[in-house]
């Protein structure tokens, strides 16, 4: 039986100091004063494989990928949220027996053996079987945050904005050292070198990444100096991309004053920032291609607009030229125009000379008739008015008081000029004035009698 591998890695000189027993195998290996790297790694691999053997381990999938060969490579994280992690490899034969599609965040149980990958000297777990054991804690948190923000309507399609067709300035939120930044800048330089690019640097991974990402997006929104904003980074595991699942980053994207395009990771990587963005690109390079039309396309569009403007201008010039030709044709023979107008004037003068005497004669006849009718109507009106005046005079004469006096009546008044109409106004010895039809008489009352007194 092999000696425990920890003891075998120590030399015979150091072992007694630590209180470890020195076996014959260890003493034999200790005589090798210098190890070759390959020999050391091989020896460690043999010790790990023999010391632990086949085992079952439980953990959370992270960074899962399937190569073109069919082999699967991923990390297995501690299911309790610890920092421990082991690299895993699942070869095509074992991967073909899977009855589900592995994804980051899934909690699984793996059956296999530990080994050492000699080219890199890394400890890895060779998986022979995999089965689901539930959703991982990080993925469950992702789903909870997604459901909460979705209930607020932050992911609604109705709030998505259209990207500008021809932007003049593009903003990028990412790390200055990220490969994604180089990819985006390379794509923009290739497609649209005329665009102005502004970078808003931020961490894209780690505990401080969410705060800095939200601040960078808010700063770009406040400054409002770009037409569209790209938020991007390269691919990674669920925990590497976790900063883009933070609620602060999602709200900053939704509140941005310009359209936001997310280019986070690869096509299989999904974050909450992708749901909040106005458009999701599968990669950072694709994000650059979506926001910036190629320079050739812009030039072709400009050429098409220029051709259209030239064609419309030529049409307008042609219409005006035709009008000018018609006007010039009309002015080319002014004598003919004058002659036609002279003939027309002569015709009008002839018509006027023939019709004027007849019109005057007709007006004179009509004037005589009107004059006769006026005299007749005036006579009739005068006669009627005279008769009416006579009737009024007769009525006036009938009402004349002097006419009444001619019939023996007299008008009495006292010395004050007041008319006397009753014996009640008289007294014996009272002086009166009597008005007769032909003069006046002073009267002295000697006696007053009323008709009732007899």
320 SS3 class: helix
Q: Give the CA diameter of the chain.
A: 196
Domain boundaries, the chain: 35-135, 141-290, 294-325, 404-444
Q: 206: phi > 0 → left, psi -120 to 50 → alpha, else beta; which? A: left
> What superfamily in CATH does domain 35-135 come from?
Nucleic acid-binding proteins (2.40.50.140)
Q: Give the tokens for residue 235.
A: 């691919």
- Dist. CA 159–CA 254, nearest whole Å: 9
**Torsion (CA) 71, 75, 80, 82 in degrees, nearest 10:** 170
Residue with tokens 């006849």: 365
Q: Is 24 left (phi over 0), alpha (psi -120 to 50) or beta?
A: alpha
161 contacts 136 by C-beta, under 8 angstroms? no
Q: Which regions of 151-211 does DSSP assign to beta strands (E)?
A: 169-174, 196-201
- Give, for 412, the enclosing helix (H) or strand (E): strand 411-413
> How many whole angstroms separate alpha carbon 200 and alpha carbon 185?
13
DSSP-assigned letters across all residues of 13-75:
TTHHHHT----HHHHHHHT--S--HHHHHHHHHHHHHHHH-EEEEEEEEEEEEE-TTS-EEEE
Token pair recorded at residue 150: 């979705």
The architecture of the domain spanning 141-290 is: 3-Layer(aba) Sandwich (3.40)
Model pLDDT, residue 453: 58
**Tokens 């985006």 -> residue:** 184
Q: Give pLDDT, residue 255.
A: 95
Q: 74-77 — which CB contacts under 8 Å span 24+ positions?
A: 74/102, 75/237, 76/108, 76/110, 76/125, 77/136, 77/239
Radius of gyration of the chain (CA): 62
Residue 136's nearest CA partner among 76, 208, 224, 68 is: 76
Give one DSSP letter per residue of 121-163, joined into a string: TEEEEEEEEEEEEEE-HHHHHHHHHHHHHHHTTTT-GGG--PP
List the chain pLDDT tens, one digit each, 454 residues. 333 333 333 333 333 333 334 344 444 554 557 888 888 888 887 887 777 878 899 998 988 999 999 999 999 998 777 788 899 999 999 999 887 888 888 888 999 988 888 888 888 999 999 988 765 667 778 888 999 999 999 999 999 999 998 899 999 999 999 899 999 999 999 988 989 999 999 999 888 899 999 999 999 999 999 999 999 998 887 778 889 999 999 999 999 999 999 999 888 888 999 999 999 999 999 999 999 887 787 778 888 888 899 889 999 998 998 888 888 777 766 777 777 888 888 888 877 777 777 888 888 888 888 888 898 898 899 989 989 998 888 888 777 777 777 777 888 888 888 888 888 888 888 888 888 878 888 888 888 888 775 5
DSSP 368-406: HHHHHHHHHHHHHHHHHHHHHHHHHHHHHHHT-HHHHHT
Q: How many other CB atoms sit within 10 Å of the CB of residue 199?
A: 18
Q: Residue 210's pLDDT is what?
A: 93
Q: Which residue(s) pair with 441 in the sheet?
A: 434
Q: Supply the DSSP string of 342-356, one letter for each residue.
A: HHHHHHHHHHHHHHH
| pLDDT at res. 4 | 35
205 contact partners, CB below 8 Å, separation of at least 6: 175, 233, 236, 240, 241, 243
Q: How far apart are CA 332 and CA 327, in angstroms?
A: 9
Q: Three-class SS of residue 210?
A: helix
């Amino acid at each position: 039986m092999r000696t425990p591998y920890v003891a075998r890695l120590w030399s015979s000189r150091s072992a007694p100091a630590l209180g470890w027993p020195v076996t014959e195998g260890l003493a034999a290996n200790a005589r090798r004063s210098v190890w070759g790297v390959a020999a050391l790694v091989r020896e460690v691999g043999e010790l790990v494989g023999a010391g632990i053997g086949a085992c079952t381990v439980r953990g959370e999938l992270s960074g899962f990928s399937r190569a073109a060969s069919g082999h699967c490579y991923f990390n297995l994280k501690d299911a309790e949220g610890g920092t421990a992690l082991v690299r895993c490899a699942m070869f095509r034969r074992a991967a073909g027996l899977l009855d589900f599609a592995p994804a980051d965040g899934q909690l699984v149980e793996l059956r296999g053996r530990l080994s050492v990958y000699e080219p890199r000297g890394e400890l890895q777990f060779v998986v022979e079987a995999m089965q689901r054991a539930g959703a991982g804690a990080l993925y469950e948190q992702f789903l909870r945050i997604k459901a909460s923000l979705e209930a607020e309507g932050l992911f609604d399609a109705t709030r998505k904005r259209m990207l500008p067709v021809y932007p003049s300035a593009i903003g990028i939120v990412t790390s200055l050292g990220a490969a994604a930044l180089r990819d985006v800048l390379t794509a923009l330089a290739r497609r649209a070198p005329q665009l102005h690019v502004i970078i808003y640097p931020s961490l894209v991974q780690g505990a401080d990444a969410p705060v800095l990402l939200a601040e960078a997006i808010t700063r770009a929104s406040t400054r409002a100096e770009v037409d569209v904003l790209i938020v991007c980074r390269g691919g990674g595991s669920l925990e590497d991309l976790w900063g883009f699942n933070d609620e602060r980053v999602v709200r900053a994207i939704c509140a941005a004053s310009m359209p936001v395009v997310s280019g986070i990771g690869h096509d299989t990587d999904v974050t909450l920032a992708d749901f909040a963005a106005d458009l999701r690109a599968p990669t950072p390079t694709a994000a650059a291609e979506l926001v910036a039309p190629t320079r050739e396309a812009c030039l072709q569009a400009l050429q098409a607009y220029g051709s259209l403007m030239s064609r419309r201008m030529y049409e307008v010039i042609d219409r005006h030229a035709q009008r000018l030709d018609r006007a010039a044709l009309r002015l080319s023979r002014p004598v003919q125009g004058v002659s036609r107008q002279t003939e027309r004037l002569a015709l009008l003068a002839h018509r006027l000379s023939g019709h004027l005497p007849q019109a005057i004669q007709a007006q004179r006849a009509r004037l005589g008739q009107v004059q006769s009718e006026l005299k007749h109507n005036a006579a009739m009106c005068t006669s009627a008015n005279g008769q009416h005046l006579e009737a009024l005079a007769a009525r006036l004469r009938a009402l004349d008081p002097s006419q009444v006096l001619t019939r023996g009546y007299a008008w009495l008044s006292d010395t004050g000029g007041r008319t006397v109409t009753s014996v009640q106004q008289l007294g014996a010895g009272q002086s009166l004035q009597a008005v007769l039809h032909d003069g006046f008489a002073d009267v002295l009352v000697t006696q007053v009698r009323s008709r009732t007194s007899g």
